Amino acid sequence: MSYDRGMSLDERAFFTDRPETRQGKYTCPKCRRTNDYPIRWVRRVKKDRLPGGADEGDRARFAKLKDYLLRLDEDVVCKACGKKFEIPSQHSLMFVDQLAGLPNDEELEAEIRAASGETEPEPEAKPALPARFTRKPTGWK
Ligand SMILES: [Zn+2]
């Protein structure tokens, strides 16, 4: 057996794959120089209609899917010093509708803070009690 829901379709059945090359700007961690590199991607374009054999679950999944790009290249060779380095992994998947107006890093971080911070209580709960409160009373009966 392969998947727990045996009948549901693999995500790849919903997309048409198109290879493409995009320029990416990356900074070499060794020499700190930034250059453009041709990076191979595959563009997953959502199909016009559901493939045959789709069930209700597939229909719901299909409705939520968006076109995206998946990076194939994992590393590049620095044009300046020849050192091979890894492309940061947070750049390995992009939704096509993000390509138009990519938010800058600051906006992104503010969003992350807003999403994770607000409702959470401070991790440090209470200060330790001073010793005089925890020390055992002596003498009294
Ligand atoms: Zn370099």
Q: How far is the CA of 58 from the centre of ligand 1 (A)?
A: 46
To the question of pTM greater than 0.95 for the whole model, the response is no
Q: How far is the CA of 26 from the centre of ligand 1 (A)?
A: 10
Q: How far is the CA of 43 from the centre of ligand 1 (A)?
A: 29
Reading the block at residue 16, the tokens are: 């048409």
Instruction: Check residue 106 and give its pLDDT.
Output: 61
| pLDDT, tens digit, 9 for 90 and up, residues 21-35 | 999 899 999 999 999
Is 109 part of a structural domain of the chain? no
Instruction: Check residue 72 and give its pLDDT.
Output: 94
Is 56 part of a structural domain of the chain? yes
* DSSP string for 50-115: PPTT--HHHHHHHHH---EEEE---EEE-TTT--EEEPPGGGSEEEHHHHHTPPPHHHHHHHHHHH
Is 88 part of a structural domain of the chain? yes
Q: How far is the CA of 118 from the centre of ligand 1 (A)?
A: 40
Instruction: Check residue 36 and give its pLDDT.
Output: 95
Cα 132 to Cα 21, 92, 124, 127: the distances in Å are 69, 57, 22, 14
Q: How far is the CA of 29 from the centre of ligand 1 (A)?
A: 7
Instruction: Check residue 126 and give its pLDDT.
Output: 60
Q: How far is the CA of 103 from the centre of ligand 1 (A)?
A: 27
Is 24 part of a structural domain of the chain? yes
Q: How far is the CA of 71 from the centre of ligand 1 (A)?
A: 21
Q: How far is the CA of 23 from the centre of ligand 1 (A)?
A: 17
Candidates 68, 64, 55; CA nearest to 16 is: 68
Do β-strands 75-77 and 84-86 pair in parallel, antiparallel, or remain unpaired? antiparallel
Instruction: Check residue 88 and give its pLDDT.
Output: 84
Distance, CA of 78 to CA of 90 (rounded, Å): 19
Is 102 part of a structural domain of the chain? no
Candidates 76, 65, 112, 69; CA nearest to 92 is: 69
27 DSSP β-pair partners:
34
| pLDDT, tens digit, 9 for 90 and up, residues 89-128 | 777 888 888 776 555 556 666 666 777 665 545 555 566 6
pLDDT above 70 for 51: yes
Is 122 part of a structural domain of the chain? no
Number of compact structural domains in the chain: 1
Q: How far is the CA of 69 from the centre of ligand 1 (A)?
A: 26
Is 8 part of a structural domain of the chain? yes
Domain of residue 37 covers 1-97
Is 6 part of a structural domain of the chain? yes
| pLDDT, tens digit, 9 for 90 and up, residues 60-74 | 999 999 999 999 999
